[in-house]
Structure formats: C-alpha cells, structure tokens
Structure 1
Amino acid sequence: MKTRLLTTILACFLVTSAFSQAELNNYKYIIVSKKFDFLKEANQYQLNDLSKFLFNKYGFEAFVEGETYPEDLMRNRCLALDADVKKDPGMFKTKLTVELSDCNDHVVYTSGIGESREKEYKTAYTEAVRGAFESLESLDYKYTPKAGNSEVSAPVAAVTPTSSKEIEKLKEEIEALKKEKEAVVVKEIPAPVETIVEVKEEVTMTATDAATASGVLYAQAIKNGFQLVDSTPKVLYKMHNTGLEGVFLVENQSAIIFKKGDSWFLEQHANGTMKLSALNIKF
C-alpha cells in the first residue's frame, strides 16, 4: 500500500514538472521585479541583479524591470514572464521561492524552497535565492514559440446595458467626426504660406500631442485591451475594448482611440471642447 502511494505521488510530481517545463518553454523572456515585497529597497542586497544573473545562467533571457527591452517584447508584453521572489514564514530559517507569472497575472511556475540558517540578512537571502533557483536549473529550459504567439488576442469585454449606451454614443460621435472632417475644404487659391497653415490647423495640438504623433507608440496586450508605451518604455495610455472594431475607451480620461483608414486617432473631450490627435501605433 505504501509503495503504491509513493509511486502515485512520484508520478504526479513528474507529470507536473514536465507540464511546468513545457509551459515555461513557450515564453521568450523573464522580467525580474525591481523590488521584492519582503525588502525595503529596490535591488537591496543585490538580490534582483542576482536573480537576473541566475536566470541567464540557466538559459533564460532576463531583464530587470525598467531596463531597455527588445523590440518584440515592447510590442508583445506576453512574450515574457514576470519573476518575483517570495518569502515564506520561518522562525529559524530564511525560506525563499521564485514565482513566475504571465501577462494576465496567472502563476505559471513556483520553484522549490531555498533555505538558509544564516543570521546575517545578505548572506541568508543570497544563499536562499541560490537554493530556490536550483529547481530551475533542472528544468533544462529552451525557448519554443507556441503557435500564434506573435499574435496577441485580447479578451473581449462583456457588453452590458450601460456599455451599450456608451457604444451607441461613440458611434454617433464618430459619425459626427466623419461629417465634420468631410465638410472641411481647403480652397485652392493663391495665399501666403501663413494662410495655408491657419486653414490646416483645424485641430490644435499641444507640444506633448505633437511628440506623441511623431513618435512610435507600441501596443502591449493587457487584460481587456492594450497599453501604449513609448521607447522609454513609459505607459502613456491604457485603452480598453468596446463592441466596435477599432474603437477603444481610454482609461481615466474622457477620450477614445479609434482607427480611421490606416491611421489611429485620439479624441479627447474637456470643458465642452473636442481635441483630435494623430497617433503612430505599432501592434
């Protein structure tokens, strides 16, 4: 009876390990948190740098949060797993585990527990982190793109009565915008350069808008939509799906982002006025 129980437990462990390895192989990058929750400062005791080093040592391509990311990662945030180190309770031991989560905050992998009996914090944490990473060493990670990984499929929001009203309102605004743009005609008459500039400046743009229009914004998948980041990368807008194709609601703003032809536009409403800005978005 005991032998059968041990065999069953071992089989379950081997199946779970194989599944974890196969799932991890589908992710190309690791992004290490710049500050672990159980520490007071970013990269305290150099644990974040150590974690990045150990990931790279065991075959992963790792970055610390905030570093410059590769272009494909900037376009598709779901190519990476977020890495965090968690501290388990223990009175006489320091116990740490490594946790990997996908772009939807789903935990994909949790390492074994790394332990240390050292009393000095830096020594204890360093020893425990190295112990936790021994689990990843045995996985023999090798990146294997899964089918359709380059295409980001965002979940579609459920349409409620309230959102239906908002969608109808958006339809009306877009139709009104189309009619307004069609009504603007630039007359072909001899005129100074200044006059032509004044006619074309139907939509005023601030310095920030101009910089956004000329610079490339990268769309990264988030829950129920995308976030737009610049090359820093800094998140400038979070836009959420609607029931309309190519139309998104902008989070925390009275604004929408929509596609017209091959171009993207940001329409903002404030103090009874509407401002339209062109966006250069890459998905």
Structure 2
Amino acid sequence: MASNVFSQTNLNNYKYVIVAKKFDFLKKTNEYRLNELSQFLFNKYGFEALIEGEEYPSDLLVNRCLGLKADVLKDSGMFKTKLSVELKDCNDRIVYTSEVGESREKQFDKAYTEALRNAFISIEALNYKYVPNEAILASTSSNIGSDNSDEVKKLREEVQALREKKELEENIEEIKNRSNPVFEKPKVSAQLPVEKLTTKHEILYAQAIDHGFQLVDSTPSVVYKIKKTGIDNVFLVEGKNATLYQKEDKWILEYYENDQLIQEVLTIKF
C-alpha cells in the first residue's frame, strides 16, 4: 500500500525531484535506462525531475530542501519483479512510497520497465501540482540576502532561462519517443500536423565552437548556432525554440509556429 507520510498539499510544496543516478539493486549507473525512465515518468506526471549530479537550477542550489530525492526499491519475489518508488526530503525523511509495481516478464529489461511503469500508476493518481510554500521560499530568500537585489534579479533570470531550456528539451523528448521503445510514443491523435515542409538549398557550413557549431552561409554570416545534446545528431538551436536533427541523410530544423509544426530541410556541410 502506498505510504503518504505527509499530506498531498505538503508533497505539492516540493518543486523538484532528484532521481538517483544509480539504484542499489542494479550494478551500473542507469542500467536498463531505469533512472532515465524514472525521470521521464516524473516529468510526465507533472514533476520537474533531475538526475542526481547534473546541473541544478539556481533556486535548488540555494535551497536543497526544495527538492525530493527519488529512489527505486526492489522487493523480493519468486516469480514476479516488484519495484516501488520512494521519495525522501532533504533531511532523509521518507515523504512518500508508491504502490508496488509488478511484472511477470522473464527478461530483466522488460520486467524492470513494466514494474516501474506500474509503480508510477499510483504517482500519476497523486495529480501533483507545485504549490509554493511560504516557509521554504522565505528560507531561500534569507539565504540570498534581502538587500542583494542584483542577485535576486540574476536568480530570476536564470530560472526563466532554465524554463525555456526545458521547453526545448521537451522537443528532444518527442524525438526520443519516436525512436526508443523505452519511452512512450506519442499517440497519433495528439500530434499536430506539419503545416509547412520546406527545403532550403543554400549550403550552410558548420564551424566548431564551444559545445556545438555555428552554421554560416557563403557571405559568410552566422545563420544559426547549435548546441550538442545527449542524443547523437540532435542539436538545440540557440536563440530559437527549435531543434535540429538528422533524419536519414537530411538535416531537419523543427519548431512550432502558431501551434503548427514547421519543418525545414537544411543543407549543411560539416
């Protein structure tokens, strides 16, 4: 049975979930991609999830108690794989434990994936929605300093930039869903139609820069700056809510305009 140590309102007071980069019952970091799948499912059900050790948002760096630490536990079972999700606060107190998710699959990758998804059914039922807690926010403000307005302004700008980054990363998640069976593929009914598919014949030349490339035309002028992601041949476009990825032998620039999906085929020389 799921354990709610605190009320749902209190659980909603936590802004982030930090997923352990390695679960104790596994031998390797992100083995069977379970840690990555956990992050994906938390995000799917309304949380803002991070992997332990990656770059944290500024407000979380100031106040670690804004986040919950997430771990996945394995229960013993003769013919079933049983997993549950546990959330702890910054003082290592258990805040929530999910229902046990089960699977009868014999292959470890399929069994762990199915059991974890089943454990998250009870987390989906929480209908989580972040509600700021005055005590927690006051603690954050006191750490920053009430008279340091420049620092507060900088913090707000960084948080806004991270939100924009998250929107771009959601585009990457859609690409993952199309190619990786671990992630759920979007339903056809939920996909927006491509309003315009165009091919730009002007050749762009890729020049290496920090964390990516700049694409220049024959003038030469910089047309785009693109940054590497954790996925091969998928880039974030700097200053534009768009992704650039390779499909077969084509480079596709993809973005939304007025709620319609736009795709442009670019000719790039690397």
TM-score (norm 1): 0.47
TM-score (norm 2): 0.50
Larger radius of gyration: 1
| More strand as a share of residues | 2
